[in-house]
Chain A
């Protein structure tokens, strides 16, 4: 077995050294009838590197990879080009195979990266502080709602109809157990967002209003009036960003008054990976930092006065506060945060802005072309790199039909909202810098065909 260094001779001598006559002497606390006599027969025996690689490669070929075909899916996960150096850096063993930086003197690499990541995230989202990352956007969103409850001591949150339905599902699942009351509704295929409805729903019991920006249909709205209305009632504004590239071009939620901004960072540096691992972003105001879940890296000095970094404010955390902790989270998405940070530092402000402009320009072009197809209606007035069109027919079978013809042509709202009749013709199209002219031609032709 290529991963196990002990030889049979080592094993024999070591058993002798520990005073055991056979390996099972060391398993003597296991009840005899529960100790298996040999390898579990239902599973195969060990295999060579060549054999495993072949088996898994064969499996991977049963998938249609995004890079192989015209590709227009978004809705919380985006395909962007990742510079080759990002993967090179995250595969360095000192990053890849390090543990949580519990011994800061020999973990300055990870700690400095997390400090830089926190700074990038706080600035991007327009907040004062950020943590060292969460599991993903959807769990960060729920943690933000719980944090707002801790701050306001209220339990009623209002969720925008433009919030990703899976994020709503996660929050609903958790709220069943925590007793939080969530006010939710389905989106409508309109250019207008539900800002007015949200503002009207805010009352003295509201802990937080949760909005997505850009929202699930790709719409963008000024969050300032919602923030003002929330604050006037003692509630917080939580903004969710699932496409952080957008913030290279549009105003940040923090700038518009959001108190907690969470996001899915997958778009920058992290691949699609069929849904995970991703990287949750979490930022807030400085005054709420002790209510923030997750890990934090902080600056300090060492015994010689040199600048260094440590994990800090751990008195909020599970390993010290146990049942009184701000959350049960005991990890972050360290490696994905590294990928985000490397990609972001390669982009820099200039590159991020160019990337965002390129995405927007490409998306505008595609929106115009698709809207010109007879029977197709462009739902959005505003968008960044993702928009919704209404087809004359149900979108789900269209998406399947396109996929059968080698085009991954967007996410049907029917997939996301299976029970909502009014949404079944909606198709959400994401256009990033990876879409070529030929890809766009193929999508246009495919949609023309089904709209005939």
Chain B
């Protein structure tokens, strides 16, 4: 799996951590939000936005040092940046490279927009959405979440 870091790390190579490449241009900050990274957390970050890309014209890149993303975090990123690639870096080398894939069911990832939905109460359940072409479909109350998906990510 090991390969040369190449173009990915030209901006500022990191020793250990994650590089999220090919993020839909403009979505880098939402990716950070999904990862729970705010101005008050202490990760060492590099963010590049609107970088020229052969594939898509423009893209965003996020690098996070000393943190390897877990599968659930990757699923969340897929919601807003379906073409992103996740590169796990160890000792300056790309050790793992994975695409993101929107899962069929999102468990505990987004909040239901329906205020009357049982999943918005203190019941011992996680929100559960099925990913459909009409949007995210709440498997409790049957509502669809179409717009502002980043704003509903838990």
Partners in one complex: no
